[in-house]
């Protein structure tokens, strides 16, 4: 007998089961994440490959050559400018030496003193050095000017080339975007191709086991896979499609649940009905219309479902307590009646007679499913 009456179990066990249900959900979601990630490893189209495929290789090559040439010219110009700087210093210093010697000679001439041969030689050497340096300086300066011009022309040519390249890169960009989109769809289809059958499988399993012991566990798997399907759709589908798919699914689920709730209110299932009867009898209220069941010592009292817990139950004289059949005066439903087996009084809307244990069908068969 006991196996047909599910027991809710001690509270710590229920807590533990709830906790493990959540754990199972998270782990299953995680697991599907690994699967989806592995599928996402399908190689994506490479931009570099596409470029080398679609752009004239000569154009790319000459662009590279120009780049190298430009860099070389820039570093040459840089070195030349530094040399020029050094030469300027040297020229300046030899000019200073010469000026000093000239000043010295001028003073000698003013004082009518003779200039020695050594002094004359030194003067000649200084003069020669100065002119040499100046010569070199002019040559270097000319080289720098030429390099600058070369650089300018190279830069202009490169500009033209880059514009040309930019133009020829546009179809590459378009092609790349197209291929990326195709790739994205391919990956999404692969992922959903694995996830949707999995979802159908766990849904089928849940439907088959929905009244069994493991229903909650399978439901967690259903929720985990559903969440993964939604996340994959969100990642891969353009938002204008995704929002319709997502809303459609949510609408279907909410609509289905609402329909179920409305149906179970209109035609409650046997167990729901029995639960309602039990709770009403516990509160001494008519299960059909909530009118107080005023039997025996409760005859002159009034209460509601809320206040019944706070009032002290009246104690009647056991000899005087009548246990007679009782019908709700408000809705005319029989609430206590004679047991067909033992003839004692029993609650009409509860399944079993408390005296003899005779079980009667109190809920019409039509509500059983
Ligand atoms: Zn009633
Ligand atoms: Zn009985």
Which ligand is closest to the CA of 338, given by its number? 2
- Gap from CA of 250 to ligand 2 centroid (Å): 51
Which ligand is closest to the CA of 358, given by its number? 2
- Gap from CA of 80 to ligand 2 centroid (Å): 119
Which ligand is closest to the CA of 347, given by its number? 2
**Residue 54 has which token pair?**
């679609």
Residue that is written with structure tokens 């499913």 in the block:
369
- Domain holding 103, by residue range, is 21-236
**Angle value at C-alpha 348, between 344 and 353, nearest 5 degrees:** 45
- Gap from CA of 360 to ligand 2 centroid (Å): 10
* Helix pair 47-54, 117-209: axis angle to 10 deg: 110
Question: pLDDT per residue over 194-204, tens digit each?
Answer: 999 999 999 99
Is residue 144 pLDDT above 50, yes or no?
A: yes
- Gap from CA of 346 to ligand 2 centroid (Å): 7
What does each C-alpha distance from 159 to 70, 165, 169 come to in angstroms?
Answer: 12, 10, 15
Bridge partners of residue 334, in order along the sequence = 327
Question: pLDDT per residue over 54-92, tens digit each?
Answer: 888 888 888 888 889 999 999 999 999 999 999 899 888
- Gap from CA of 355 to ligand 1 centroid (Å): 24
**Is 246 contained in some domain?**
no
In this prediction, residue 57 carries a pLDDT of 83
What mean pLDDT do residues 268-275 have? 83
Which ligand is closest to the CA of 341, given by its number? 2
**Is 200 contained in some domain?**
yes
Contact yes or no for 39/127 (Cβ under 8 A)? no
- Gap from CA of 45 to ligand 1 centroid (Å): 74
Which ligand is closest to the CA of 288, given by its number? 1
Kindly state the percentage of the chain with pLDDT values over 70: 94
Contact yes or no for 210/221 (Cβ under 8 A)? no
Which of helix, strand or coil describes residue 346?
strand
- Gap from CA of 272 to ligand 2 centroid (Å): 24
Which ligand is closest to the CA of 340, given by its number? 2
- Gap from CA of 310 to ligand 1 centroid (Å): 22
**Angle value at C-alpha 360, between 355 and 366, nearest 5 degrees:** 155
**Is 275 contained in some domain?**
no
What does each C-alpha distance from 164 to 91, 94, 168, 169 come to in angstroms?
Answer: 47, 52, 6, 9
**Is 336 contained in some domain?**
no
Contact yes or no for 268/277 (Cβ under 8 A)? no
**Is 47 contained in some domain?**
yes
In this prediction, residue 282 carries a pLDDT of 87
**Dist. CA 239–CA 302, nearest whole Å:** 60
> DSSP E strands: which ranges in the chain?
326-327, 334-338, 345-347
- Gap from CA of 354 to ligand 2 centroid (Å): 7
**Is 247 contained in some domain?**
no
Which ligand is closest to the CA of 286, given by its number? 1
- Gap from CA of 220 to ligand 1 centroid (Å): 41
- Gap from CA of 105 to ligand 1 centroid (Å): 141
**Is 292 contained in some domain?**
no
**Is 259 contained in some domain?**
no
* Terminal-residue alpha carbon distance, the chain: 20
- Gap from CA of 286 to ligand 1 centroid (Å): 5
- Gap from CA of 293 to ligand 1 centroid (Å): 8
- Gap from CA of 233 to ligand 1 centroid (Å): 53
In this prediction, residue 7 carries a pLDDT of 54
Is residue 119 pLDDT above 60, yes or no?
A: yes
- Gap from CA of 353 to ligand 2 centroid (Å): 5
Q: In whole numbers, what is the pLDDT of the chain averaged over residues?
A: 86
In this prediction, residue 203 carries a pLDDT of 92
Is residue 9 pLDDT above 80, yes or no?
A: no
What mean pLDDT do residues 85-101 have? 88
**Angle value at C-alpha 318, between 314 and 324, nearest 5 degrees:** 90
Q: How many structural domains compose the chain?
A: 1
Question: pLDDT per residue over 283-318, tens digit each?
Answer: 889 998 989 998 877 777 788 777 777 777 777 666
């Amino acid at each position: 007998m006991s196996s047909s009456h599910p027991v809710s179990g001690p509270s710590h066990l229920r807590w533990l089961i709830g906790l493990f249900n959540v754990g199972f959900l998270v782990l299953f979601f995680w697991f599907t994440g690994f699967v989806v990630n592995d599928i996402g490893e399908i190689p994506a189209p490479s931009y570099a490959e596409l470029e080398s495929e679609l752009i004239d290789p000569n154009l790319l090559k000459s662009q590279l050559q120009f780049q190298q040439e430009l860099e070389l010219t820039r570093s040459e110009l840089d070195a030349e400018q530094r040399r020029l700087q050094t030469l300027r210093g040297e020229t300046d210093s030899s000019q200073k030496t010469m000026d000093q010697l000239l000043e010295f000679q001028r003073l000698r001439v003013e004082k009518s003193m003779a200039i020695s041969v050594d002094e004359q030689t030194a003067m000649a050497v200084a003069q020669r050095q100065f002119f040499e340096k100046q010569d070199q300086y002019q040559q270097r300066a000319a080289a720098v000017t030429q390099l600058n011009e070369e650089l300018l022309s190279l830069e202009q040519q490169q500009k033209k080339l880059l514009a040309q390249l930019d133009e020829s890169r546009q179809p590459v960009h378009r092609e790349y975007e197209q291929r990326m989109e195709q790739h994205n769809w391919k990956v999404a289809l692969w992922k959903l191709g694995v996830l949707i059958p999995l979802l159908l499988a766990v849904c089928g399993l849940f439907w088959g086991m929905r009244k069994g012991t493991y229903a909650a566990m399978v439901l967690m798997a259903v929720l985990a896979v559903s969440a993964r399907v939604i996340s994959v759709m969100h990642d891969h589908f353009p938002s204008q499609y995704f929002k319709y798919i997502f809303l459609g699914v949510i609408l279907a689920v909410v609509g289905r649940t609402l329909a179920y709730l409305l149906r179970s209110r209109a035609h409650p299932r046997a167990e729901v009905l029995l639960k309602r009867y039990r709770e009403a009898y516990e509160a001494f209220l008519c299960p059909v219309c909530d009118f107080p069941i005023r039997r025996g010592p409760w005859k002159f009292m009034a209460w509601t479902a809320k206040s019944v817990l706070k009032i002290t139950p009246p104690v009647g004289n056991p000899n005087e307590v009548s246990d007679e059949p009782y019908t709700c005066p408000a809705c005319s439903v029989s609430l206590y009646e004679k047991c067909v087996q033992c003839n004692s009084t029993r609650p009409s809307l509860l399944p079993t007679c408390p005296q003899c244990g005779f079980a009667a069908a109190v809920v019409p068969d039509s509500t059983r499913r």
